[in-house]
Amino acid sequence: MATGNVRYWAAAKEAAGVAEETFEATNLDELMTKITENRAELALVVKRSSFLVNGSPVGRRAHRDVVLEDGATVEVLPPFAGG
C-alpha cells in the first residue's frame, strides 16, 4: 500500500473542504473509493474529473490499472468552464 498526497482543484477543492490530504491506497480506483466515502458532493465531482499522477495524465486508463507508488501526488481536476 502506497502513501502520498491527493490535491484537489476548483470544484473538487470546494467539495472536499480541503486543498490536499494524505492517502494510503494501492491504485487510483481504491483511492477514489476512499476519498469519496461519506462525501457525496465530492463523489459527484470526481465522476466528472480528470486525474494526474505525478504530473502525468491518467487519460482513459482504468483506475484499477493505475498503480500508486509511495510519495505519489494525485491531482483531481474537475472540468473547467470556458475555453
Query: Tell me, what's the pLDDT at 35?
Result: 98
Query: Tell me, what's the pLDDT at 83?
Result: 47
pLDDT digits (tens, 9 = 90+) for 16-68: 999 999 999 999 999 999 999 999 999 999 999 999 999 999 999 999 999 99
Of 4, 82, 13, 2, the residue nearest 46 (C-alpha): 13
DSSP state at residue 43? H
Res 81 pLDDT > 80? no
Q: Does domain 2-77 have CATH number 3.90.79.10?
A: no
Query: Tell me, what's the pLDDT at 80?
Result: 80
Q: Specify the amino acid at residue 54.
A: N
Partnered with residue 27 across adjacent β-strands are: 67
Query: Tell me, what's the pLDDT at 82?
Result: 52
